[in-house]
Structure 1
Amino acid sequence: MRFPPAIVSIVFFLILSYSSLASSVTKKDFMYKGSSLLVEDYGSDLLTSPDETFACGFYQVGTNAYSFSIWFAKSAERMVVWTANRDHPVNGRGSRVSLRRDATMVLTDVDGSIIWSTNTTGTMVDKAELLNTGNLVLKDPSGNILWQSFDSPTDTLLPSQPLTRHTKMVSAMAIGTHASGYFTFYFDNDNVLRLTYDGPEISSLYWPNPDFDVFTNGRTNYNSSRIALLDDMGAFLSSDRASFFASDMGSGIKRRLTLDYDGNLRLYSLDESTRSWTVTWEALPRPCDVHGLCGRNGVCTYTPKPKCSCPPGYEIVDPSDWNKGCKPKFNRTCDQTQQYGFVEVPHTDFWGFDLDYNPSSSLEHCMKLCLENCSCEAFVYRLTGEGTCYTKSALFNGHSASDFPGSAYLKLPRSLNLTSAKAATPTLITSDPDCGSNKADALIQVVGFSRMYNTNNRRTRWAYFYDFVYAIGIIEALFLASGWWGLYRRGDGVSKSMEDGYRAISSQFRKFTYAELKKATEVFKEELGRGGSGTVYKGVLKDDRVVAVKKLGDVIQGEEEFWAEVSMFGRVNHMNLVKMWGFCSEGTHRLLVYEYVENESLNKHLFSNASDSNSNSNRGARLLNWKERFRIALGTAKGLAYLHHECLEWVIHCDVKPENILLDNNFEPKIADFGLAKLSQRGGSGFQFSRIRGTKGYMAPEWFLNVPITAKVDVYGYGVVLLEIVKGSRLSDWVMVDGEEEADLMRFVWVGRNKIDECDDDDDSWVEDMVDPELKGQFNKQQAAKMIEIGISCVEEDRSKRPTMDEVVQALLQCECED
């Protein structure tokens, strides 16, 4: 059968078109000499790795701007891991990458100018190939690698890609961009791995902790080599003894180590089911510790996420670029007629640029020093026992945190309109509201003309010093002072520089020998308590510190891995978390050393019934009054919120109960045993725990549903504890009702919900029946009602209906100052 010529032509055209289309989406395994990748084909003309994990080609980075890059092809968001000459993108027309016949791979722009080259001219390069590791290589006919992208990292390190003395990682300038930023991860001249900020005005080291020397930071510079590597299991090891491990450590998981645009070094793991990335380790759990983040005069604070702002008397230079920081609203002058005062910024420090350091200094003396020095722009006054004064010649690396035991005092002209200065800092807002008007107060305590520090008299006087006697400040100051005294008394060769006020108490975190802890506990003589994770004993160290030593039961990690995990928790610092002093790992022995908390656990004071089967003896316990109960509820919520939102997202407690909430001598709560679930999780993947963890009555329903565990299990446990604080008795106990086992919690929640639904918003008479009768009516009804409502919402079966711990803190703060 003969077809008309027109039909034959059409069929032939369609075949050619289909062949052309098929070839346009074909992914290449190799590039050979004489071949090119064209920017016009950026979406289809690609090199791919054999397992299709990685792709290499042109990547759009802006309007008509493209880079030659390598990226993860299997993640929902194409995550770039390497770029050729990242600061010089090429035109969207006429640009190409070619493997020339002179054996050089070259990136050229539309005008033919060379933007990047492998400099392999004259070698035996035969082809280019993208390996399963994400490494782009040029090979000779025998398969030998003559050039590789692994030798020139950008902001990301892949497993098996070494970091050496000749390479470094540089962050991106901002989120969504690939241009080089100001943060660098590299081996310094002393062979130590460091993170530094190298900005437009200053350079500053911020990791490892610059307040400590190399050995106090657990590193060594007695190594002639400089090499570090992330392996396929998620372990990072370095020649300077820096090491860390992915929280989901194990094989078969795609990972990347990235120096993010915010200066934090993070290890990510790819969840192939959702194609999304999860942080499994980070260098700085508190991002505001990154130097240079907010530029000159800027302050980084937690709201609760890190955020930059300008202090009173300053304004932002460029809202689109915090690297430029803040500029003063006044002209700084040494004119003797210019009168200055000070504005206090509580719990705020500016690291570095010290003009003078004065231990045992009074606030008045510190003010006088700053006033008499024209170069002084502010001073930081720390309360670590006796006051310590640091006058500042410049304000960089500002950060604000509730647990910083001091304040910054800005030197401002008295002629400055401080009211407007306060209005200019709307981003520095605390969680502590004005209960009378539901308006948030600024975190900064602005000292106006009536409260400004008077600098006219010969003897400086000051007013309204109550900001320094907040209960939180006094408690933290006493704690830090006692820790500092213990550090001072050790006399074990710690460098003299530790005596400056900047050294944190966490410098005492160290490895103990088993013999040391046997002696400290008198062979584990005095037992403080025991639980599923181990037994706790009281001990006294050589420096006279009283400690609690926990012997762990089911933790079997190797010594290096155990060190990496516990050192992470040793760096956690919050007033509502028990401080970890160190650990022991010898043979099969795994022990943790904590601060000793005087008033033991919440259950011993909350449950007065001596027959309580879940509590130890209540001898010496007393009835907690309402103010103490509310403070315990709020402090516990703050501690959990810190773990969930300011630390890595995998820090889930998994066993929130009264026994794990300890009370210091001021009855401030401190959460114990956080991180133990993580230590016991090895071999699992992500949040899929190998076995159910927790205590019956405080365990969320999802533990029994074979679903991934999230921070909402802690919210559930906290909800039970919160309702028990209100009721004053165990709600986690189980009883038999009509032949079936039922928790007291279920009945309490059922009654509470009905009463809330039946009563008007202004009617709080129902609360009396729900509160501990031992209080004899001496409690705040509004606070009790709010706590019951929050507690009920926390124990919802559907975890998506439970609030986050950050939301719980906000809700409790709204009624903190109600009478």
Structure 2
Amino acid sequence: MGGRCFAVLCVVLASLGGVAADAAAVAVQELRRGFSAAHDGSNSQFEPVLSDPAGVFALGFLRVNATMLDLAVLHLPSSFPLWRAIPDRPAQWFARASLSFDGDLVLTDRAANKVLWSAGAAGDRVVLLSTSNLQIQSGSSPGVVWQSFDRPSETIVQGQNLTSAAALYTSDRRFAMRLGTNYFGLYIEPPPSSSGGVAVAMYWKHTALEAKAQIVAGGGPTYVRVEPDGYLAMYQKEGPPADVLPFDTFNHGVKAIRRMTLEADGNLRAYYWDRNGSRWVLDYTAITDPCDLPSTCGAYAVCVPPSGRCACLANATDGSGCAAVSGGGEGGGGGGLCGRTGGEVGGLYWEVRRQRVEPANKELLPFEHSPSAADCEARCARNCSCWGSVYNNGTGYCYFMDYPAQMMVAADERKVGYFKVRSLEEAGSGGGGGGRVAGVKVALLAVGVTVLAAAAAFGAYRVWKKRCRAAADASRQVGADDDGLSPGPYKNLGSFSSVELSSSFRG
């Protein structure tokens, strides 16, 4: 037994060279009632507490974002967290924290005398399996009373079932992966400050083909699982899968640890561990076009394919994003969008109109047939939960968004967009809201005067630029979808003449 423990400690120390020997010494293979381990902030990144039998995985205190403390299960050879507790109110890395087990596994900030996270279970021991599954087990039936495989964070590993009862979230909870009855999708999550005024927005969807097995209504929940042969399978019951999403190594005989992670940019990627190269090898990417990712340009911006360059729907920016976002457009303020426009006293939003744009995820949006762009706009304007609409003059379809405008891409002249933007008065905290709205009106008036003075010169410039563009090298052409974007991040989109604010802002 002593030799086995020594081998485990050697693996831990070799994989995490900065971990002190006394911290590694407490990495055991089972936690019993009465166990407690104090966090030692002097260690650099990770303090192991519990190890799996082979010493490949460890549970311990993890340092995240340079300053914060979390509880995590690490893949030791790569130092990659396969599971994280992600407390709602995390503590600082140097906090006096401890991990204890007395039936329930609890992470505590001792200085503040508060529980940071708990499993909410009652068992007799805690073990970490060779699959990386952290379990609280009981001597009586059922044997497993809690397991990390049922409570994933950003990642699922080979052999782990992800059911509709759980979801994958990015660590900042901006994006999520969830299962439906016969599909799974990626979603933009409403910010905590939205107070119900913003809906979740699906931006990617994969529907089961049901070629080998049918999904039966009422036949039980569906689940997905990363399989060792290099694919993600969807099941309703064990047997032939209802759907197979192949990775690059599908049936290539690669035998390795596999994982699928919802990453910080909102993309879903799969990897396998290359033991010879000692690295995670990318094996699948759900979204390959940058304009199809909500993180590429953010809210109130337009992405120009194929380059992925960004432009604002309306105002100029400070370089960190479109100016509308700082006015609360990305969830600031709660409730619906009922009330007067921002140009009026007590108004809730401004209105922005933009041509040549459309949602990248329009196939996932609700739509109706509409006789005109004006009718499409009116339907959204009188809908308290509608944040924007886009009308296609070619098809007559009117698409609706119940979240602040995101995933917008440059399109042809047939597409016309109408968007609501939270006013500064509604989004701001404390007093002075009316002054901020008045300031916005004055600023917009000044912009309008400037635009009128420069309109003729700008029109001539556009004609000249189009002629130059037609003769330029093909690799430097932007095309009709660009509408005259200058290189660089977050430029104003095209001509000011195609951006129209509500009449209340035009004095």
For the superposition of Structure 1 and Structure 2, which TM-score range results when normalised by the shorter chain? 0.5 to 0.7
Q: What residue number does 1:446 align with? A: 495
Question: For 1:372 and 1:161, how far apart are their aligned partners in 2?
Answer: 45
Give 1:236 deviation, angstroms.
Answer: 1.6
Q: What residue number does 1:491 align with? A: none
Give 1:271 deviation, angstroms.
Answer: 3.2
Q: What residue number does 2:462 align with? A: none
Q: Is the 8 A contact 2:134 2:149 kept in 1?
A: yes
Question: For 1:345 and 1:187, how far apart are their aligned partners in 2?
Answer: 35
* 1:407 pairs with 2:415: yes
Q: What residue number does 1:380 align with? A: 390
In structure 2, do the counterparts of structure 1 residues 269 and 300 end up closer, same or farther at CA, with 3 Å as the change threshold?
farther
SS in 1 for 2:217: coil
Q: What residue number does 2:89 align with? A: 88
Aligned residues: 395
What are the residue-to-residue correspondences of 1:165-564 with 2, within 5 Å?
165-173=164-172, 181-188=173-180, 190=181, 192-199=183-190, 200=194, 201-206=197-202, 209=205, 220=215, 222=217, 224-226=219-221, 227-239=223-235, 241-249=242-250, 250-289=253-292, 296-302=299-305, 304-305=307-308, 309-313=311-315, 315-317=322-324, 323=330, 332-333=342-343, 344-349=354-359, 357-358=368-369, 365-367=372-374, 370=377, 375=382, 380-382=390-392, 386-388=394-396, 390=398, 396-401=404-409, 406-409=414-417, 417=447, 441-442=484-485, 444-446=493-495, 448=497
Question: For 1:36 and 1:341, how far apart are their aligned partners in 2?
Answer: 57
* 1:117 pairs with 2:160: no
SS in 2 for 1:166: coil
SS in 1 for 2:87: coil
Counterpart of 2:230, as a letter, is: G
Give 1:153 deviation, angstroms.
Answer: 1.0
SS in 2 for 1:238: strand
User: What does the per-residue CA deviation read over 1:716-753, in whole Å, with 9 as the maximum and x for residues that have no partner?
Assistant: xxxxxxxxxxxxxxxxxxxxxxxxxxxxxxxxxxxxxx
* 1:133 pairs with 2:131: yes
In structure 2, do the counterparts of structure 1 residues 312 and 252 end up closer, same or farther at CA, with 3 Å as the change threshold?
same
User: What does the per-residue CA deviation read over 1:281-310, in whole Å, with 9 as the maximum and x for residues that have no partner?
Assistant: 2333335445697665333444624x6542
Q: Is the 8 A contact 2:185 2:205 kept in 1?
A: no
Counterpart of 1:230, as a letter, is: V
Q: What residue number does 2:424 align with? A: none
Q: What residue number does 2:35 align with? A: 35
Question: For 1:350 and 1:420, how far apart are their aligned partners in 2?
Answer: 33
User: What does the per-residue CA deviation read over 1:104-130, in whole Å, with 9 as the maximum and x for residues that have no partner?
Assistant: 322111234332333443x4x2x4332
Give 1:205 deviation, angstroms.
Answer: 4.7
Question: For 2:329 and 2:388, how far apart are their aligned partners in 1?
Answer: 21
SS in 2 for 1:71: strand
Q: What residue number does 1:60 align with? A: 63
SS in 2 for 1:90: coil
Give 1:158 deviation, angstroms.
Answer: 1.1
Give 1:246 deviation, angstroms.
Answer: 2.0
What are the residue-to-residue correspondences of 1:146-165 with 2, within 5 Å?
146-165=145-164
Counterpart of 2:268, as a letter, is: L
Higher relative contact order (CA 8 A, sep 6+): 2
Question: For 2:292 and 2:26, how far apart are their aligned partners in 1?
Answer: 44
SS in 1 for 2:373: helix
User: What does the per-residue CA deviation read over 1:358-400, in whole Å, with 9 as the maximum and x for residues that have no partner?
Assistant: 46x5xxx5357648996598763436xx452537687745435
Q: What residue number does 1:79 align with? A: 80
Counterpart of 1:442, as a letter, is: L
Question: For 2:261 and 2:48, how far apart are their aligned partners in 1?
Answer: 27
Unaligned stretches of 5+ in structure 1? 1-20, 174-180, 424-430, 457-819
Give 1:311 deviation, angstroms.
Answer: 1.0
In structure 2, do the counterparts of structure 1 residues 398 and 410 end up closer, same or farther at CA, with 3 Å as the change threshold?
same
Question: For 1:79 and 1:420, how far apart are their aligned partners in 2?
Answer: 53
In structure 2, do the counterparts of structure 1 residues 351 and 244 end up closer, same or farther at CA, with 3 Å as the change threshold?
closer
Give 1:133 deviation, angstroms.
Answer: 1.2
Question: For 1:132 and 1:258, how far apart are their aligned partners in 2?
Answer: 19
In structure 2, do the counterparts of structure 1 residues 445 and 331 end up closer, same or farther at CA, with 3 Å as the change threshold?
same
User: What does the per-residue CA deviation read over 1:583-603, in whole Å, with 9 as the maximum and x for residues that have no partner?
Assistant: xxxxxxxxxxxxxxxxxxxxx
User: What does the per-residue CA deviation read over 1:487-532, in whole Å, with 9 as the maximum and x for residues that have no partner?
Assistant: xxxxxxxxxxxxxxxxxxxxxxxxxxxxxxxxxxxxxxxxxxxxxx
Q: Is the 8 A contact 1:312 1:446 kept in 2?
A: no
Q: Tell me the TM-score normalised to structure 1 length.
A: 0.40
Q: Is the 8 A contact 2:233 2:244 kept in 1?
A: yes
Counterpart of 1:83, as a letter, is: R
In structure 2, do the counterparts of structure 1 residues 84 and 228 end up closer, same or farther at CA, with 3 Å as the change threshold?
same
Counterpart of 1:81, as a letter, is: L
Q: Is the 8 A contact 1:159 1:229 kept in 2?
A: yes
Q: What residue number does 2:104 align with? A: 104
Unaligned stretches of 5+ in structure 2? 1-19, 237-241, 317-321, 333-339, 421-440, 455-464, 479-483, 487-492
In structure 2, do the counterparts of structure 1 residues 152 and 368 end up closer, same or farther at CA, with 3 Å as the change threshold?
closer
Counterpart of 1:104, as a letter, is: D
User: What does the per-residue CA deviation read over 1:426-446, in whole Å, with 9 as the maximum and x for residues that have no partner?
Assistant: xxxxx9995599998417332
Q: Is the 8 A contact 1:381 1:388 kept in 2?
A: yes
* 1:49 pairs with 2:34: no
In structure 2, do the counterparts of structure 1 residues 239 and 331 end up closer, same or farther at CA, with 3 Å as the change threshold?
same
In structure 2, do the counterparts of structure 1 residues 271 and 73 end up closer, same or farther at CA, with 3 Å as the change threshold?
same
Q: Is the 8 A contact 1:118 1:147 kept in 2?
A: yes
Question: For 1:419 and 1:302, how far apart are their aligned partners in 2?
Answer: 32
Greater C-alpha Rg: 1
Question: For 1:56 and 1:421, how far apart are their aligned partners in 2?
Answer: 60
Q: Is the 8 A contact 2:31 2:127 kept in 1?
A: no
In structure 2, do the counterparts of structure 1 residues 407 and 278 end up closer, same or farther at CA, with 3 Å as the change threshold?
farther
Q: Is the 8 A contact 2:269 2:285 kept in 1?
A: yes
User: What does the per-residue CA deviation read over 1:742-798, in whole Å, with 9 as the maximum and x for residues that have no partner?
Assistant: xxxxxxxxxxxxxxxxxxxxxxxxxxxxxxxxxxxxxxxxxxxxxxxxxxxxxxxxx
In structure 2, do the counterparts of structure 1 residues 398 and 225 end up closer, same or farther at CA, with 3 Å as the change threshold?
same
What are the residue-to-residue correspondences of 1:10-21 with 2, within 5 Å?
none
In structure 2, do the counterparts of structure 1 residues 238 and 282 end up closer, same or farther at CA, with 3 Å as the change threshold?
same
Q: What residue number does 2:425 align with? A: none
User: What does the per-residue CA deviation read over 1:165-198, in whole Å, with 9 as the maximum and x for residues that have no partner?
Assistant: 432222222xxxxxxx13222334x464333333
Q: Is the 8 A contact 2:298 2:407 kept in 1?
A: no
Structure with more of its chain in helix, by fraction: 1
Structure with more of its chain in strand, by fraction: 2
Q: Which moves more between the two structures, 280-289 or 130-139?
A: 280-289
Q: CA RMSD in A?
A: 5.1
Give 1:57 deviation, angstroms.
Answer: 0.4
Question: For 1:23 and 1:276, how far apart are their aligned partners in 2?
Answer: 28
Question: For 2:447 and 2:50, how far apart are their aligned partners in 1?
Answer: 62
Q: What residue number does 1:497 align with? A: none
In structure 2, do the counterparts of structure 1 residues 406 and 253 end up closer, same or farther at CA, with 3 Å as the change threshold?
farther
